[in-house]
Structure 1
Amino acid sequence: MGAMDELKIDVVDAEHAGELLTVRRAAFVTEAQLYDDPHIPALTQTLDELVEDLERPDVVTLGAWDGSRLVGSVRVGLEEDRALLGRLAVAPDLQGQGIGTQLLMSVLHYLPEQTQEVWVFTGQDSKQNLSLYAKHGFEHQYDQNAGDLTYAYLRKILGGMAGEEESSAVGG
């Protein structure tokens, strides 16, 4: 896992939008194949739309860099006391090495203090994603249909700033 120790996680700004778009598209091609749908939003978003999204005050997009290469990202939408994670993406050649996990763990450091629960959504057939989220204390709440896709929504309640300890003691 040598190189991954160098992973740096930081906010992605507009100057990295092109790289982010590339990583997301590469990562979501496998999702698109899984669902046989080339039109999932992560693949159809334009560069301009992405830049606009990166500049929104209620969105934090985190990136994981291995040296100068952007290798993963996650988008965090903030609303009142909730955060909604989406678009968790890791470069295909580096999947399965814990980058997604590190991104997930890092999100907590970027949440406003009033955030009480974190939600994630992913396709209900995305077994890898679902098991990753479950492992980190997210519990399935409901499914929602969006066109031909069904998204699973999962929630994690934060117990104060150090939410990790309580949740792992309770749920396993």
Structure 2
Amino acid sequence: MDDATQATRIALVDDADAGELLTLRRAAFVTEAQVFGDPNIPPLTQTLAELREDLKRDDVVTIGAWEGHRLVGSIRVELEDNKATLGRLAVAPDMQGRGIGTSLLFAILPHLPEQVTEVWAFTGKDSKENLTMYAKHGFEEHHDDSAGALTYTYLRRVLHEVEARNAG
């Protein structure tokens, strides 16, 4: 089966995939680090041991996208009361622009507890492609926040409000 016809498989990431997940995130976030001129952004400094601890957490869901045996995308969701916070949305550089990030955004929905009504995402303020993708899928810019020299834009999607608007 060639790349064009191979189906993308979406599934939970577990400890057995930790090394590949770390490699994917590092490859995907190098571009982001270059945009901000900071090689020390958290996705690039997280250790394998820290990643494995994160995967064990009950309040975190990590979902991956595979093409054959290769992990080509992932998203991390942290759950807290009625809120889910997306982070570390990563797509392998050679696979970007094929809808994998969008597929992962929608793949989180079945993993959200019923009480979750808001999904938050954040990305670098200058990450125009990321901001455009989130806006296209119902996320609205909410506020900016600085962490050291970096400024992040926080976006919010209210699940029931957006779904009601789209149904009407």
- By the TM > 0.5 criterion, same fold? yes
Q: Distance in 2 between matches of 1:165 and 1:118?
A: 13
Aligned pair 1:2/2:19, yes or no? no
Instruction: Show the counterpart of 1:53.
Output: 54
What SS does the corresponding residue of 1:63 show, helix, strand or coil? strand
Q: Counterpart amino acid of 1:26? A: A
Shift of 1:153: 0.3
Shift of 1:3: 3.6
Q: Counterpart amino acid of 1:25? A: R
Shift of 1:51: 0.3
Cα RMSD, aligned residues only:
1.4
Shift of 1:169: 5.3
Instruction: Show the counterpart of 2:149.
Output: 148
Instruction: Show the counterpart of 1:17.
Output: 18
The verdict on how the C-alpha distance between 1:140 and 1:164 changes in structure 2, with shifts beyond 3 A counting, is closer
Q: Counterpart amino acid of 2:164? A: E
The answer for unaligned runs of 5 or more in structure 1 is: none
Shift of 1:167: 3.7
Q: Distance in 2 between matches of 1:47 and 1:86?
A: 17
Structure 1 range deviating more: 106-115 or 138-147: 106-115
Q: Counterpart amino acid of 1:149? A: L
Instruction: Show the counterpart of 1:65.
Output: 66
Q: Distance in 2 between matches of 1:29 and 1:86?
A: 16
The answer for unaligned runs of 5 or more in structure 2 is: none
Q: Distance in 2 between matches of 1:104 and 1:118?
A: 10
| Aligned ranges 1:106-121 → 2 under 5 Å | 106-121=107-122
Instruction: Show the counterpart of 1:168.
Output: 166
Q: Counterpart amino acid of 2:4? A: G
Size of the aligned set, in residue pairs, is 166
Shift of 1:62: 0.4
What SS does the corresponding residue of 1:48 show, helix, strand or coil? helix
Shift of 1:2: 2.7
**8 Å contact from structure 1 (residues 139, 154) kept in 2:** yes
Q: Distance in 1 between matches of 2:156 and 2:141?
A: 6
What's the CA shift string for 1:105-125, capped at 9, x where partnerless? 111111111111000000010
What's the CA shift string for 1:82-107, capped at 9, x where partnerless? 00001000000000110000000111
Q: Distance in 2 between matches of 1:17 and 1:167?
A: 38
Instruction: Show the counterpart of 1:40.
Output: 41
Shift of 1:168: 2.9
**8 Å contact from structure 1 (residues 32, 38) kept in 2:** yes
Percent identity between the aligned chains? 63
**8 Å contact from structure 1 (residues 28, 43) kept in 2:** yes
TM-score by length of 2: 0.95
Q: Counterpart amino acid of 1:55? A: K
